[in-house]
Structure 1
Amino acid sequence: MRMPRILMALVLIIALAAITNVLSTSPPTIDSTALLSLGEKYNVRLIRDEFGVPHIYGESDADTAFGLGYAQAEDDFATLQDVVLATRGKLAAVRGPDAAKTDYLIQLMGVWEAVDEGYESKLSQKARDVAEAYADGVNLYAAQHPNIVEGFVLPITGKDLIAGFTFKLPLFYGFDQTLSALFDGSDRELALQGDKALTFIDHARSELGSQGVAIAPQKSSDGYTRLLVNSHQPLTGPVAWYEARLHSKEGWDMAGATFPGSPVILHGHNRHLGWSSTVNKPDLVDVYQLTMNPENDNEYLLDGEWIELETRTAEILVRVFGPFRWTFKEPLYSSKHGPVVKLDHGTFALRWSGMGEIRTLDQYLALNKATNMQEFEAALAIASQPSINQVYADKEGNIAHYYNAMFPERIEGWDWQKDLPGDKSELIWDSYLPFSTIPATRNPSSGFVFNANNSPYLSSVGPGQPQPSEFSKTMGIETGTTNRALRLKRLLSASEKISREDFYRIKYDVFYDEDLPAMLRLRKFIAQGKERLPVELHPAFDLLASWDMGTQSDNPAAALAVLTMARLIDSRRRTEGVDLAQQLANAQSYLRTHFDRIDPEYGEVVRHQRGDKSWPLDGGPDTLRAVYTEEDMDSGQLYNVAGDSYIMFVEWDRDGNVSSRAVHNFGSATLDKSSPHYADQAALFVEHKDKAVRLKLEELLPFASRDYRPGVTGGSIELE
């Protein structure tokens, strides 16, 4: 996203700062005395197991949230405070001009106006208590470690956490991508009215993926219900998974994972049910082309009348260097549609699902506490989560896939994928379709459901799946698929019954499906023969032709194949004109430059690294064993940076008793390289192994490494 006025002003500010010292704006001074006593307010016990994973036992939900905030701060305070600064719109005040875009976006979206207006009136008291208790846990840790706290951070408040949901969740379905495309100056296509204009175009697949699988008792060889929780995220940073076990006497009893700054488990399981979350990207953003008054550029045409734009001011505090900061002011505009941006190529208004929505924590708390399918669906029906699929299973043997989203209630007869004319008020939607209208697959006869960022119309096999004819095109529902979805369909359908071992084998599948368009293209390329290629490519061609479409760590053809096919496998990229012969030549050159041969074992090239340790890895982009890499410029090795991260296997036996196993890509100590938990799960992760999730206190205590009450004198029992 480009903001020329802001960036040009920043250049002038820096130049001015070089010759004057009048730009200093210091962060507010905080008295940490009160923060240091916060531990006395909460009755919570924090027990870390042998892997350092926090198991938090609180008297109340607020007590438990306080413990979660403190534990996350212990393990990843630097990321957490960056999340708070970004959400608060103060990141540029600490990080400098490069962060100004984020601060601008927060203000453009009106995040804090929505939070300030609705925090007391729209959000439940329970959600406020949980958010504020979590913030207290972070504040206590920060007060205990003042040397690591940036200015403009303390005190963290419950509002900061609620604003985080309001800001971040639209980014998962691509709001920021729509905005970036608006700023890039490319030609805009205006929608036409009429049925013939309703042409659905699939959104590009997201960079990363996720997957969830649920198996009903009739499909399991032992009559168990099984759930795979397997979201794919960056391995570090603000949306990297953090594992925790939460328990309170008010009925909060969750195990799973969350993000820094989220005071609740985002997916996992309780004793009754569980779910896996995957990203979906229906059309949830609308762009309107405004007709501006040629005699007054602050007036736009709506229903034949000129309407004045509402105006407010964005104030962005930017750190120039050292202690010097400057408050840059930028006008912000809004119309009846939503926020407005004035650009050289037009004036545009935006409207999106979740704008002004602050109740997301209420929905997540309800999901965490649901005890059956009816309660889970009632939680989804709160409809404060703009998007995200859920793959569901419970102790009663129910399974389901929900293509969950806040679908705008749009009028028929327009192609909502394109820009809309801004002069018709009938195109300004103001409500959402009810939960009952979303695509869902419940207890299909096949005995399984799945999602791997694919269309909801492929969620199982056979009857019980939603059909495209049942849903309005105005919903913009995806129709595309992924390699992972094709593999799940094939592998889950391959046998009448699925055992626990089968379930693990399917999750860790490392192959590309023969029906994937990229593999069809490869077969055609191979069938054309090597005679048309330069002779120096013949050995590489022969190696590529021998590839079994797998990414095993000892596979000698996989590195060449994945490097050759990357642009076709990654469907974010345009594939028109991709020359496979040239891609093969590039892959050959890369491997010979860095590894002196074209057939190194895949695990020699693709590595899982943590600190000074490195392991050979299997898996690749869009395989069920999902691995996304970045190149090390010196060695040429490709290091794992995203994909498979937190993985959880959940099962309920015939009597409805739950158990689970999980693994994290690195460990619970996110930043502390000296901690034994900095990389203690990495070897398990590489070897397709995991650890028990201990759900009962009596099972946990023999394995406790620490047992303490945060901030309470004498409340810590150090066992390490």
Structure 2
Amino acid sequence: MKTVAAVLSFALIVCGGAATWYVYRTVHAAFPQVSGTLRLDGLNSRVEVDRDERGIPQVYAGTAHDLFYVQGYVQAQDRFWQMDVYRHTTAGSLSDMFGPGQIGTDTFIRTLGWRRAAERNYDRLSPATKEYIAAYSAGVNAYLSGRSGAALGLEYELLSLRVSYQPHRWTSLDSVAWQMALAWDLRNNVQQEIDRSLAAGKLPPRQVDELYPPDRLDVHPPIVPQDAVASGGAARGKPASAPDLPEGARTQLAHVTELIRSMPAATLPVNDGAGSNSWVVSGRYTTTGKPLLANDPHLGPELPSIWYQMGLHCTRNSSNCPFDVTGFTIPGMPGVFIGHNDRVAWGFTNGAEDVADLYLEKVRGNSYLYEGRWYPLEERKETLTVAGRKPVTVTVRATRHGPLISDANDDLREVGTSAPVPGSERAAPHGGGSGYAVALRWTALNPNRTMDALFELDKARNWTEFRSAASDFSVPSQNMVYADVEGNIGYQAPGQVPIRKRGDGAWPVPGWTGAYEWTGYIPFGKLPHAYNPAAGYIATANNTIIGPPYPYLLSKDPDYGYRSTEILRQLRQATVNGRKISPADMSRIQSDQYSPIAASLVPYLTKLKVNDSTAKAQSLLEEWDFTQPATSAPAAYFNQVWALVLRHAFAGRLPKSVRVDGGSRWFAVVERLLPDASSAWWDNPDTKRRENRDQLLTRAMEEAAAQMGRAYGTDPKAWRWGAMHTLTPTNQTLGTAGPGIVKWLLNGSPLPVGGGTALVDATGYNAEKGFAVTMVPSMRMVVDVSAFDRSTWINLTGASGHAFHPNYLDQVPLWQQGRTLPWSYSRTAVRAATKHSLVLLPRHT
């Protein structure tokens, strides 16, 4: 027995050791080589890749071909799984990678036609851009050569336990298509169109209007003043009133909402109202004497981050190799998206322009009605390759307005059976049923040269070249801020923004009348812009770009301007009495956690008489400064109250598919209602007696105190906002749906964070579902053009996409604390920061 026991013990030790060795080998198999020498086919000359302790690479090459070839190779070293998922998403081929669970998503993306649009875009690109993309693709493929499974990433080894999958070679279209995903995540107004229509089915027009109040430009000023852009041009479209939609059409729109929101977080996590902050300050107000520029795009959190920090440097700058640029790149796309070169710096925020409209279509068989005539639907077949299953064929249909997104799954083919359409015009889609179909017209489906624009930005030398690059930037529509070494600052709104014959883009419109067509696009020269404005600074935060009497309609639904107003307040405060703004001040403003809705609502809350158990919680608010750090007890209680106010006042009156998420629009709605104590919104529709504002607020406070007491203890002073408001870095594929061990392997731990929805430190949450973070400043940067090496940056996660790599999550703690890293740019500074140097050589030299 002793012998048997000894043998069994020995066997367990061996098996345990073998398992440990297997796990270690699997996890480390894809860790990249970052030092020494590599010889690769396809290189023309020597290239050096220097990485700092954070794994951030700076590439030095003698030719543009070699520069982008190595960019592709290095990004694939660190992030190929992410790149692979991105390209399958944009191609509508996730089913090929993950199996039948992604058929619905693939069908929707094939219906939208992202890959087909990318093909049209590629055909329009300049020869130089095509060469850069081809070189990048060759670099990715050089990395893929001879690698498979765990050697490409831990995720591939885990995926192999479920399906058989081997990545194919990278193509130029894989890179070009990614802008479609960006444009989709940053589109504006589609959801608001649907929500308005659905709300109009349950509420009178006056109350619908109260849910979409006009922006107060006297309180929240626009980005640029009216005199900053030449006037003239077409008149804005006449506002469209709420359409009298039959119930069948509203049902159809509700289904479209659910379809859009069911899109998986394999690209950018599903997120209504993605935003961003950026601002630029003239040298006359800075401690450096030259401009300072800040940017922090707000997107759904990803692990790894959507951004990849990188420098691309030609060792000898020439017309054949004109790049000396650094900043934030996107894995899968060559070039630098946001950053600076040796002359200019730039940043982006979502411009919130309305570039998409929904058209209700009358369909009969394979035809649709337009201006009294029936026209054949455009129709094509798409075949989906499905891992572990037979291929699936889907039919995609479109009208002159765009693809019928209501065809995108079986449920939506039943397009409004109760719609009272005349018999001769009843819709009869291929799935059966009758009623209305819904088409999407979207500028991103038009051919464009946005990829050309990105390379033009990377090598721009001045304001004129910057604007020339912006003129080619079509989608997604953005705000662009600018600074240069000569001391100039500027702003440009680029993009294709439609001019409508009728309507203001606020509601879905009838497609069969011909009355709501797009008649063209705002000429680039007429788009808002500013150069060295008298104010000495420019701030953008997705708010109104320009006020009346600007002759064109940009959007009915920009952000309501709370963040931009706070940024401007901070800038004015920092320059009072001749003081100057430092780079540290710019970073401090990025971490501003002041809550404007708290400042408006708390004075009403503190005046209420509440029960004894709630009074202790109420007292937290009496001396509160309305900021929301993770350690704040008042912020914890207030946000719970705020969520309950929204639930009691609005959620029960609206269709379930209309989100009451607590963002800036809800700030504006509640601010306008608060002075009216007897507004119908305060009344509980489930009771016979009429309630007022104070009764609803009291109810919310008492319920919040009780809920907080049960969850976090009975001492309100011990409550912490960060205990409720947490960010869990999550791999957006296997980390969301895999078994527990896979989530443990790939995901980070929950982190307490400060900030909140519609604050400058925009760690947003969905008030309907809780306080977990659903939107973040995905990166932060401050550029000092007086000395680029004094610039700073931070990413959400880290350079590496490989779990357990030292650079997988190493920037998260700094990001959590609002801190940034030194951003080396000059060759001297890069060398001083270098921890690992890799030399790549042509194979046959």
TM-score, reference length from structure 2:
0.69
Aligned Cα root-mean-square deviation (Å): 3.6
Deviation digits for residues 640-667 of structure 1 (CA, Å, limit 9, x no counterpart): 56412321111122xx867411122332
Query: Could you tell which deviates more after superposition, 563-572 or 351-360?
Result: 563-572
After the TM superposition, which residues 323-342 of structure 1 pair with which residues of structure 2 at under 5 Å, given as runs? 324-340=388-404, 341=406
- Answer yes or no: is the 8 Å Cα contact 1:173–1:280 preserved in 2: no
**Could you say which residue in structure 2 is the equivalent of 1:627?**
763
SS at match of 2:366: strand
**Aligned: 1:593 with 2:710:** yes
Deviation at residue 376 of structure 1 after TM alignment: 0.6
Residues in 1 aligned to 2:530 and 2:67: alpha-carbon distance in whole angstroms: 34
- Answer yes or no: is the 8 Å Cα contact 1:254–1:270 preserved in 2: yes
**Could you say which residue in structure 1 is the equivalent of 2:294?**
228
- Answer yes or no: is the 8 Å Cα contact 2:371–2:513 preserved in 1: yes
Go from structure 1 to structure 2 and tell me whether the alpha carbon gap of 1:42 and 1:90 turns closer, same or farther (over 3 Å shift): farther
After the TM superposition, which residues 459-498 of structure 1 pair with which residues of structure 2 at under 5 Å, given as runs? 467-473=547-553, 475-476=554-555, 478=557, 480-494=559-573, 495-496=575-576, 497-498=579-580
Q: Which amino acid is 2:128 matched to?
A: K
Identity among equivalent pairs (%): 24
After the TM superposition, which residues 188-587 of structure 1 pair with which residues of structure 2 at under 5 Å, given as runs? 197-198=239-240, 206-237=272-303, 240-248=306-314, 249=317, 250-293=321-364, 297-319=365-387, 324-340=388-404, 341=406, 343=413, 344-345=415-416, 346-411=436-501, 413-425=502-514, 427-429=516-518, 431-457=520-546, 467-473=547-553, 475-476=554-555, 478=557, 480-494=559-573, 495-496=575-576, 497-500=579-582, 501-513=584-596, 516=597, 519-527=599-607, 529=608, 531=609, 533-566=610-643, 569-571=662-664, 579-587=696-704
Go from structure 1 to structure 2 and tell me whether the alpha carbon gap of 1:276 and 1:585 turns closer, same or farther (over 3 Å shift): farther
Residues in 1 aligned to 2:237 and 2:774: alpha-carbon distance in whole angstroms: 44
Deviation at residue 114 of structure 1 after TM alignment: 3.3
Residues in 2 aligned to 1:188 and 1:374: alpha-carbon distance in whole angstroms: 51
Residues in 1 aligned to 2:198 and 2:330: alpha-carbon distance in whole angstroms: 31
Residues in 1 aligned to 2:440 and 2:68: alpha-carbon distance in whole angstroms: 35
SS at match of 2:375: strand
Residues in 1 aligned to 2:198 and 2:313: alpha-carbon distance in whole angstroms: 48
- Answer yes or no: is the 8 Å Cα contact 1:381–1:434 preserved in 2: no
Residues in 1 aligned to 2:72 and 2:506: alpha-carbon distance in whole angstroms: 40
Deviation at residue 541 of structure 1 after TM alignment: 1.4
Task: Look at both structures and tell me which one has the larger radius of gyration over its CA atoms.
Answer: 2
SS at match of 2:124: coil
Residues in 1 aligned to 2:169 and 2:529: alpha-carbon distance in whole angstroms: 42
**Could you say which residue in structure 1 is the equivalent of 2:144?**
142
**Aligned: 1:648 with 2:781:** yes
- Answer yes or no: is the 8 Å Cα contact 1:280–1:387 preserved in 2: yes
Residues in 2 aligned to 1:241 and 1:301: alpha-carbon distance in whole angstroms: 45
Q: Which amino acid is 2:701 matched to?
A: L
Asked which structure has the greater RCO (Cα within 8 Å, sep 6+), the reply is 2
Residues in 1 aligned to 2:545 and 2:619: alpha-carbon distance in whole angstroms: 39
- Answer yes or no: is the 8 Å Cα contact 2:362–2:369 preserved in 1: yes
Deviation at residue 331 of structure 1 after TM alignment: 1.7
Residues in 2 aligned to 1:410 and 1:174: alpha-carbon distance in whole angstroms: 16
Residues in 2 aligned to 1:336 and 1:612: alpha-carbon distance in whole angstroms: 46
SS at match of 1:291: strand
Instruction: Please state which structure has a larger fraction of its residues in helix.
Output: 2
**Could you say which residue in structure 1 is the equivalent of 2:811?**
681
Q: Which amino acid is 1:668 matched to?
A: A
- Answer yes or no: is the 8 Å Cα contact 2:144–2:169 preserved in 1: no
Go from structure 1 to structure 2 and tell me whether the alpha carbon gap of 1:424 and 1:45 turns closer, same or farther (over 3 Å shift): farther
Match of 1:71 among 65, 70, 74: 74
- Answer yes or no: is the 8 Å Cα contact 1:367–1:379 preserved in 2: yes
Residues in 2 aligned to 1:615 and 1:240: alpha-carbon distance in whole angstroms: 19
Residues in 1 aligned to 2:398 and 2:101: alpha-carbon distance in whole angstroms: 25
Deviation at residue 326 of structure 1 after TM alignment: 2.3
Q: Which amino acid is 2:147 matched to?
A: H
Residues in 1 aligned to 2:632 and 2:281: alpha-carbon distance in whole angstroms: 31
Deviation digits for residues 84-103 of structure 1 (CA, Å, limit 9, x no counterpart): 11122210122123322331
Q: Which amino acid is 1:505 matched to?
A: R
Deviation digits for residues 42-76 of structure 1 (CA, Å, limit 9, x no counterpart): 75321111211011112223322222222222222
Residues in 2 aligned to 1:236 and 1:476: alpha-carbon distance in whole angstroms: 29
Deviation at residue 378 of structure 1 after TM alignment: 0.8
Q: Which amino acid is 1:627 matched to?
A: T
Unpaired runs of 5+ residues, structure 1, are 1-34, 458-466, 716-720
**Could you say which residue in structure 1 is the equivalent of 2:210?**
none
Query: Could you tell which deviates more after superposition, 302-311 or 561-570?
Result: 561-570
After the TM superposition, which residues 88-237 of structure 1 pair with which residues of structure 2 at under 5 Å, given as runs? 88-117=91-120, 119=122, 121-148=123-150, 151=165, 153-174=167-188, 177=191, 197-198=239-240, 206-237=272-303
Q: Which amino acid is 1:163 matched to?
A: A
Deviation at residue 131 of structure 1 after TM alignment: 1.8
Deviation at residue 437 of structure 1 after TM alignment: 1.6
**Could you say which residue in structure 2 is the equivalent of 1:24?**
none
Deviation digits for residues 182-212 of structure 1 (CA, Å, limit 9, x no counterpart): 999996999xx998645699xxx94443100
**Could you say which residue in structure 2 is the equivalent of 1:662?**
793
Go from structure 1 to structure 2 and tell me whether the alpha carbon gap of 1:108 and 1:603 turns closer, same or farther (over 3 Å shift): closer
Query: Could you tell which deviates more after superposition, 83-92 or 151-160?
Result: 151-160
Residues in 1 aligned to 2:836 and 2:359: alpha-carbon distance in whole angstroms: 56
Q: Which amino acid is 1:546 matched to?
A: E
Residues in 2 aligned to 1:165 and 1:114: alpha-carbon distance in whole angstroms: 10
Residues in 1 aligned to 2:751 and 2:559: alpha-carbon distance in whole angstroms: 34
| Total equivalences in the alignment | 644
Go from structure 1 to structure 2 and tell me whether the alpha carbon gap of 1:337 and 1:697 turns closer, same or farther (over 3 Å shift): same
Residues in 1 aligned to 2:458 and 2:522: alpha-carbon distance in whole angstroms: 24
Deviation digits for residues 586-633 of structure 1 (CA, Å, limit 9, x no counterpart): 5434433343243334445545666777765432332222324699x9
Residues in 1 aligned to 2:188 and 2:604: alpha-carbon distance in whole angstroms: 34
- Answer yes or no: is the 8 Å Cα contact 1:551–1:602 preserved in 2: yes
